[in-house]
Amino acid sequence: MTVAKPALRPTTPNFSSGPCAKRPGWTPENLKDAPLGRSHRAKVGKAKLKLAIDLTREVLDVPADYKIGIVPASDTGAVEMALWSLLGPRPVTTIAWESFGDGWVTDIVKQLKLKDVTKLSAGYGEIPDLAKADPASDIVFTWNGTTSGVRVPNADWIAADREGLTICDATSAAFAQPLDWAKLDVVTFSWQKALGGEAAHGMLILSPRAVARLESYTPSWPMPKIFRMTKGGKLIEGIFQGETINTPSMLCVEDYLDALTWAKSVGGLKGLIGRADANTKVLADWKAKTPWVDFLATDVAIRSNTSVCMKVVDPAITALPADAQAAFAKALVGAVEKEAAGFDLGAYRDAPPGLRIWCGATVEAADVAKLTEWLDWAFETTKAALPKAA
């Protein structure tokens, strides 16, 4: 079969899973009100940071009694602050099914050296038995596995009367999937994900139960300055009012404010979820009529609507040795990128070879549809270039 080269390219060909595409209509002019060259501790700086916190609460429907802080080092920094500050007094259950979840397990076991740790794990495209999570333990998990395209289906598996804390890395779920706040004690994410913000800034959201743990428990290990959230046994409230631990970029803050304002304009959280779902539906409809591709997560109940991971299932390709399959996937992605029809589409380096297509709210469904045409062309072109069997 010969597939003609498509005539149209996506208007925005950026499909990276982080940093993600800027919102539709974004230009640098949107950042003209950033207080550049001013102190983040000046009145204008504090006001911008406080507004970022307030708009985050509004768009994500965060309960009024939860604390929201802007912290350093992106989502990674936010997760590490939670792990180092809160873990220790109880057993820990870790739930991991992809590389970032595994990374948190490594930190808990090898860096914090906690002994009473139960690991629930699954391979790429699958999810562990969530019912096995012990409510008496602290539970650490990702809501959406960015590198596997697998998300938890809901929070029903978390006990309402749990004794431990739930620490949730929600960086590719926030602003695209509903988070059950009553079941979550710590939630983290970064600006560079679902709203297409800039890198290096993280968000840390704490429930009253998490605050109570912070104020009643002192870890036995030394605590780096950028992780410290208490002083004299009390929460440092300023962190959660815009008085950041370290110096933020006011240009990045302005960009996040722009993204949040746009989010409100498209219907808030409901609108954002709807846009991500619509983008993912384009891929589902394409897969239904395309025999060479399938989702890595075959169970739709756990399939991500943001970091959508797909695999090549054409028999001629799956019959190749593993390294040749990986080379084919890389060549397929390269063919699309060479035509400037889609960028950053390759699977994560630790994941099975294939595609990873960001479908979060800042992406347009029409662009996803155009991308699929280029993927069909690239597949046939790359397959035709394979050496013929003797």
What's the structural domain count of the chain? 2
**What pLDDT shows up at residue 117?**
98
Do the Cβ atoms of 165 and 209 come closer than 8 Å?
A: yes
Final residue belonging to a domain, choices 264, 284, 304: 264
Cα–Cα distance, 88 to 113 (Å, whole number): 10
**What pLDDT shows up at residue 389?**
62
Give which of 203, 201, 202, 204 is closest to 252, Cα–Cα.
Answer: 201
Cα–Cα distance, 211 to 222 (Å, whole number): 20
Instruction: Specify the CATH number for the domain of residue 168.
Output: 3.40.640.10
Query: Quick check: is 389 in a domain?
Result: no
Q: In this structure, are 260 and 276 located in the same domain?
A: no
Q: In this structure, are 41 and 119 located in the same domain?
A: yes
**What pLDDT shows up at residue 153?**
98
Which residues span the domain enclosing 380? 267-384
Q: In this structure, are 260 and 271 located in the same domain?
A: no
Instruction: Specify the CATH number for the domain of residue 358.
Output: 3.90.1150.10
Three-state DSSP at 64 gives coil
**What pLDDT shows up at residue 1?**
62
Token duo for residue 126: 């699958």
Q: In this structure, are 257 and 287 located in the same domain?
A: no
Cα–Cα distance, 168 to 93 (Å, whole number): 12
pLDDT in tens, the chain (390 residues): 688 999 999 999 999 999 999 999 999 999 999 999 999 999 999 999 999 999 999 999 999 999 999 999 999 999 999 999 999 999 999 999 999 999 999 999 999 999 999 999 999 999 999 999 999 999 999 999 999 999 999 999 999 999 999 999 999 999 999 999 999 999 999 999 999 999 999 999 999 999 999 999 999 999 999 999 999 999 999 999 999 999 999 999 999 999 999 999 999 999 999 999 999 999 999 999 999 999 999 999 999 999 999 999 999 999 999 999 999 999 999 999 999 999 999 999 999 999 999 999 999 999 999 999 999 999 999 999 998 864
Cα–Cα distance, 52 to 257 (Å, whole number): 6
Q: In this structure, are 190 and 308 located in the same domain?
A: no
Q: In this structure, are 230 and 276 located in the same domain?
A: no
Q: In this structure, are 284 and 241 located in the same domain?
A: no
Cα–Cα distance, 198 to 20 (Å, whole number): 9
Query: Quick check: is 307 in a domain?
Result: yes
Q: In this structure, are 241 and 98 located in the same domain?
A: yes
Q: In this structure, are 126 and 241 located in the same domain?
A: yes
Q: In this structure, are 191 and 49 located in the same domain?
A: yes
Could you write out the DSSP letters of every residue in 130-155? GGG--TTSEEEEESEETTTTEE-S-S
Q: In this structure, are 318 and 361 located in the same domain?
A: yes
Give which of 180, 183, 196, 190 is closest to 272, Cα–Cα.
Answer: 196
Q: Which amino acid is at 259?
A: A
Query: Quick check: is 380 in a domain?
Result: yes
**What pLDDT shows up at residue 390?**
44
Q: In this structure, are 257 and 304 located in the same domain?
A: no
Final residue belonging to a domain, choices 211, 232, 264: 264
**What pLDDT shows up at residue 2?**
80
Cα–Cα distance, 39 to 35 (Å, whole number): 8
Q: Which amino acid is at 166?
A: T
Three-state DSSP at 129 gives coil
**What pLDDT shows up at residue 360?**
98
Final residue belonging to a domain, choices 264, 287, 316: 264
Cis peptide bond prior to 291, omega within 30° of 0? no
